[in-house]
Amino acid sequence: MFDQECLLFDPVTPTANAIPLVFAFPNTYTVGITSLGYQLVWAKFSQRPDVDVRRLFTDLEEKLPSQPEIVGFSFSWELDYTNLFSLLEQLKIPLRAAERGEQHPLVFGGGSVLSANPEPFADFFDVILLGDGENLLDEFIDQYQGVRQGDRQTKLRHLAQTPGIYVPSLYEVTYQEPTGAIETIEPKYADVPPSVEKQTYRGNTLSASTVVTEQAAWENIYMVEVVRSCPEMCRFCLASYVTLPFRTANLEQSLIPAIERGLKVTDRLGLLGASVTQHPEFEQLLDYLSQPQYADVRLSIASVRTNTVTEKLARTLAARDTRSITIAVESGSERLREIVNKKLTNDEIITAAVNAKAGGLKGIKFYGMVGIPGEEMADVEATVAMMKAVKKAAPGLRLTLGCSTFVPKAHTPFQWFGVNPAAKKRLQLLQKQLRSQGMEFRPESYNWSVIQGLLSRGDRRLSRLLELTRDYGDTLGSYKRAFKDLKGQIPPLEFYVHQDWPTTQVLPWQHLQTAIPKATIEKHFQTAAVPLQV
């Protein structure tokens, strides 16, 4: 498969003394090579003469060094931890950092899972990189080079001095009791910083694909990051709070040159970002892509903000082989959208659908959510009413509602809320009501949302549970069995998943800082005016 790749960067030849590094993705090649984050880190390492990087996937690998000094993982989906364990075993590396000796490589991790809450996985990594790779990756390698000949502890202590580099083993976590909340999180040594601050790249040249291949999940796609983060700051949203501030790619200096570079090797273009259409020059970008020379380009666009869906946008997308668009509405209840800070009205949703149909699109997929803090049955019924109103206003437009269960995310104002068990029945109600109206309903599994909540708010005590679930077959039943085995040794599932936590409680990620201080996050929580049940 590697011989079918078209590279959009120039790898350098490693020097004789280059660091042998394995960069892994804990899933198949098809999934991993579609990850823009994975592509970028691999290209970054490949352009350093002092690094000899080789790739590893669950089904494919390059020729690996016999004794790598560093093994890295791009970790973007929580449930890939079982594959991570398998790859470590394949490399004959102990799963737990505490069991590794001088003969073992340093194992680092990065990616969206670890940027949010790395603590359930902390025992398996020597080093975790928090933040954007543009600056952090070079700093990591530079700092490692300075202590390359030192022993393992010297390397870790030195790396921990670098902003954004988190060494979990250098922090001591104590608990009020084995099944209770965290008491303290403290550095073990005076020279270890008490908190680690996520590093944020603030430039206006954002990322673009470094490889195009027909083996990617989206065949031959060239991806361009139009915006990073989101200015809307919905109170449950990790993409907003962890990645702030909102940044946009410079249209003339970086975005258009990047697009031109990619369209020389493929006719499939993906515009990425949490809120692509909020780029201040998005209209000009549409005009650029509407030029005759790009008539054969197949254009895909990430989720768009509802009030930016114009007939012109729909017409441009329809002419570029896009059949539908995706809009996150969260709920049909305007009251609930106010609670989550979703600045959107039902009239704007209906207008977006009318414009989409008028511009030639065949369908809209809405993203919704149940179990949002403060939600009542009337809010769920309001979602059904909204979907019916859209169908009436834009007859013939194919309507889909993809719906998840609210899961609390670290560093967001709703991190203190638990998962609402009533969400399961609310998903069933939506399914019954919408399918009877001829609309497609795609619910995410409530039971797996519970596991996502477990990993989202988990702490280091879960490491043994994760090892057990993997041994027991990595099914929903595996978690129940593992909790039973560990009863009295760790908190129950209810504590991690369903309980509301007081704002005074020490959070597992308390020592990890983002661009927004905890006091500000708490203020945003109070603005939502939904009481905690503690």
How confident is the model at residue 239, as a pLDDT? 86
How confident is the model at residue 303, as a pLDDT? 79
Listed as ranges, residues in the chain with pLDDT below 70 are none
Answer yes or no: do 268 and 356 share one domain. yes
* Domain-terminating residue out of 164, 188, 212: 188
User: Can you say whether residue 37 is alpha, beta or left, with left for phi > 0 and alpha for psi between -120 and 50 degrees?
Assistant: alpha
Beta-carbon count within 10 A of 476 CB: 13
Distance set, CA 296 to CA 271, 321, 513 (Å): 16, 9, 45
Answer yes or no: do 334 and 415 share one domain. yes
Residue 365 sits in a domain whose CATH number is 3.80.30.20
Q: Contact, 530 vs 339, CB < 8 A?
A: yes
Q: Is residue 486 part of a domain?
A: no
Q: What are phi and psi of 63, to 5 degrees?
A: -65, 115
Answer yes or no: do 164 and 264 share one domain. no
**C-alpha torsion 460→465→466→470, nearest 10:** 170
Answer yes or no: do 139 and 237 share one domain. no
Q: Is residue 117 part of a domain?
A: yes
How confident is the model at residue 117, as a pLDDT? 97
Q: Is residue 533 part of a domain?
A: no
DSSP characters for 99-132? Answer: G--TTSPEEEEESHHHHH--GGGGGG-SEEE-B-
How confident is the model at residue 38, as a pLDDT? 97
Domain that holds residue 235: 220-457+501-528
Domain count for the chain, please give it: 2
Answer yes or no: do 163 and 273 share one domain. no
Answer yes or no: do 401 and 324 share one domain. yes
Q: Is residue 435 part of a domain?
A: yes
User: Can you say whether residue 229 is alpha, beta or left, with left for phi > 0 and alpha for psi between -120 and 50 degrees?
Assistant: left
Answer yes or no: do 134 and 234 share one domain. no
Answer yes or no: do 260 and 167 share one domain. no
Answer yes or no: do 444 and 296 share one domain. yes
Q: Is residue 211 part of a domain?
A: no
How confident is the model at residue 534, as a pLDDT? 79
Q: Is residue 488 part of a domain?
A: no
* Domain-terminating residue out of 188, 211, 241: 188
Answer yes or no: do 359 and 423 share one domain. yes
Q: What does pTM read for this prediction?
A: 0.96
How confident is the model at residue 294, as a pLDDT? 93
- List, for residues 123-167, the tens digit of each pLDDT value: 999 999 999 999 899 999 999 999 999 999 999 999 999 999 999
- Per-residue DSSP letter, 95: S
Q: Is residue 307 part of a domain?
A: yes
Answer yes or no: do 261 and 409 share one domain. yes
Q: Contact, 437 vs 391, CB < 8 A?
A: yes
Answer yes or no: do 146 and 259 share one domain. no
How confident is the model at residue 33, as a pLDDT? 97
Residue 63 sits in a domain whose CATH number is 3.40.50.280
Q: Is residue 215 part of a domain?
A: no
R_g of the chain, CA atoms, integer Å: 24
Q: Are strands 182-187 and 440-443 parallel, antiparallel or unpaired?
A: unpaired
